[in-house]
Chain A
Amino acid sequence: KQEVTQIPAALSVPEGENLVLNCSFTDSAIYNLQWFRQDPGKGLTSLLLIQSSQREQTSGRLNASLDKSSGRSTLYIAASQPGDSATYLCAVRQVKTSYDKVIFGPGTSLSVIP
């Protein structure tokens, strides 16, 4: 059974710092891995999607890497800003079942202090 974990559960950093969020998964048979952002009281918004054949994806100050063999992904945020404060969830899309299924991690709550 696929399990997705995220470390740390919460993180507080001063504005301007570079930071790394971690995601681990137990079954490497994945279609893709995705990072989402969730603002308080809102739905999830997709940030980056890495296909199983890719190693990383970049969007602006965000860079996500994927190491399928070790079951790990990292989300790197450069020059953090207060507007980056949110919960970040990673999700893996599996292929082993007769249909694909997305499993979410518990999230990392990020607070960027001005």
Chain B
Amino acid sequence: DAGVIQSPRHEVTEMGQEVTLRCKPISGHNSLFWYRQTMMRGLELLIYFNNNVPIDDSGMPEDRFSAKMPNASFSTLKIQPSEPRDSAVYFCASRKSGRPTDTQYFGPGTRLTVL
């Protein structure tokens, strides 16, 4: 398996623009997580899907952020409009779920810079 795939790997945009980050989880995994990592706040969970359904979006910073999972093999995280404080590395992770031994597998991340 190719692992969790994220695109783009790097994104530079100007304040006010819409940004869409994409994630393809590992086939057969039914949980998907979006995280944001910054030096100041560390790794923060933004939203968690189980069987394509958003379970907890309490980590989404504000209404400018939205996430979708239209099917088991694809998810998007959208920021509209983007702001400089959104600059961070965004990770997607997937997990088979269920058993205590199941681990999350992380993608390589998308480094977002908002100018």
Instruction: List A residues at the B interface (Cβ < 8 Å).
Output: 31-32, 34, 41-46, 49, 51-52, 89, 93, 99, 101-107
Contacts and interface: CB of A to CB of B under 8 A. Distances in A.
Interface residues of B, number: 21
Given A89-B43, A106-B42, A107-B42, A42 B109 contact: yes
Given A32-B100, A43-B109, A104 B55 contact: no
Interface of B: 4, 33, 42-43, 45, 48, 50, 55-56, 91, 93, 100-101, 103-109, 111
Given A99-B50, A99-B56, A104 B108 contact: no
Contact of B100 (A31, A44, A106): A31
A44 B108 CA distance: 8
Residue among B33, B45, B50, B104 having the largest count of chain A Cβ atoms under 10 Å: B104
Nearest to B104: A102
A49 B43 contact: no
B56 A101 contact: yes
6 contacts: A42-B108, A44-B104, A44-B106, A46-B103, A89-B43, A103-B45
Contacts of B107: 43
